[in-house]
Structures are given as structure tokens and as C-alpha cells.
Structure 1
């Protein structure tokens, strides 16, 4: 079976929650890796931070849609986290902060996504 066929089959069988969990896992692995490379490896560090920012920006954008089914307080928290992620990412690039807070936030979201999937089953 080709990789393309496998990917298509996996995508069709994943729930939105599973897809979000997998995406957070990929982005978080990139952040963990970027946190271990030499500080002069700007490409790796910037790529991971940018991917994480884009993920959070997409979530915040979705939460700003009035048709979003999440509760208003949860939507507001996600938007606030997006703002924090953006500011903190800039501080990481300036050498003022570490990747760890971003990694921890993503892992907490992943725990919530996996817990919710277990409760639904």
C-alpha cells in the first residue's frame, strides 16, 4: 500500500479530536526537538515556533467564529492562549524564554483531547 493511500485511509477514520491530538503531537515534537538544537540553528527553531504559532492562530480564528460550538469561556481561553503563545514565541527567539512553557501548554491540551476521547468512548 502506498504512503498516499495509507494517509488517505487514516484521515478518513480519524475523528476531529484524533486529528487535533495528532497535529498537537507533531507540533510538540518539533518544539521539543527545536529546544535541543544549538541556538545558532535558527531555521529549526523558527520553523517549530512558526508551526506552533500557526496552529494556535488557526484555533483562535476558529474560536472567533460565532458558529463555533465550544462554550464562550472555553473559546475565550483558547484565544488568550493564542496571544500568550505568540508573545512567548517571540521571547524564545530573543533568548529571553525557553520552549518549555509552549511544550507544556501543548501537552496539557493533548491530555484534554485524549481524556475527552476516552470519555466519549
Structure 2
């Protein structure tokens, strides 16, 4: 089976929560790789920072849609986090803040998506 066929089959069988977890994992790995770059190498970090900001922006847009079935309070929290991620990303690019906070937020989201926060 080719890689493309495997990816298509996996996408069809993957539930939305698992897909979000997988995407957060990929973006967080990119952020970890970016964090390992020298602090002055902002060009080496831009792709990961932009990808993370776009992920959060997409989540906020989805949560703002009235047809979203998540509870209103959770939707509002996700939108609020998205706004924080956007501001913090800008501060990271200006070298005023650390990329580590973005990584931590993503890890917390991944815990929630995997159900680990409910078990704790």
C-alpha cells in the first residue's frame, strides 16, 4: 500500500478528536524543533510559529460557528486561548517572550484531547 493510500485510509477511519490530537502533535513537534534553534534564528522558527497560530485561529473560527456542538463555555475558552496564542506568538517573534509557553499550551490541549486530564 502506498503512503498516500495509507494516509487516506487513516483519515477516513480517524475520529475528529484523534485527528485534532495528531495535528497538535505535529505542530508541537515543529515548535519543539524551532525552540532548539538558536534564539537569533527567527527565520528558522517562523514556519512553526505561523503553523501553530493558524491551527489556533482555525479552532477559534470553528468555535465561533453557532453550529459547533461544544458547550458554550468551552468554546469561549478555546477562542480566548486562540487570542492569547496569537498575541504571544507576536511577542515570541519580537523576542519578548519564550516559545516554551506555546509548547506547554499545546501539550495541555493534547492531554485534554487524549482524556488524560479527566483521569487526573
TM-score clears 0.5: yes
Question: How many Å separate the matches in 2 of 1:110 and 1:44?
Answer: 24
**Aligned equivalents of 2:94, 2:114: Cα separation in 1:** 33
Relative contact order (C-alpha < 8 Å, sep 6+): which is higher? 1
2:88 corresponds in structure 1 to 88
CA-to-partner distance for each residue in 1:40-82, whole Å, 9 max, x for gaps?
A: 4333211000000000000000011111101111011000000
Q: Does 1:109 align with 2:106?
A: no
Q: After TM superposition, list the pairs within 5 Å mapping 1:56-75 onto structure 2.
A: 56-75=56-75
Given the two structures, how large is their TM-score scaled by the length of structure 1?
0.92
CA RMSD of aligned residues (A): 1.5
Aligned equivalents of 1:17 and 1:43: distance in 2? 32
> What number of residue pairs does the alignment pair up?
118
TM-score (norm 2): 0.93
Q: Which runs of 5+ in 1 are unaligned?
A: none
The 4+ residue runs of structure 1 with deviation greater than 2 A are: 39-44
Q: Distance in 2 between matches of 1:58 and 1:65?
A: 11
Structure 2, unpaired ranges of 5+: none
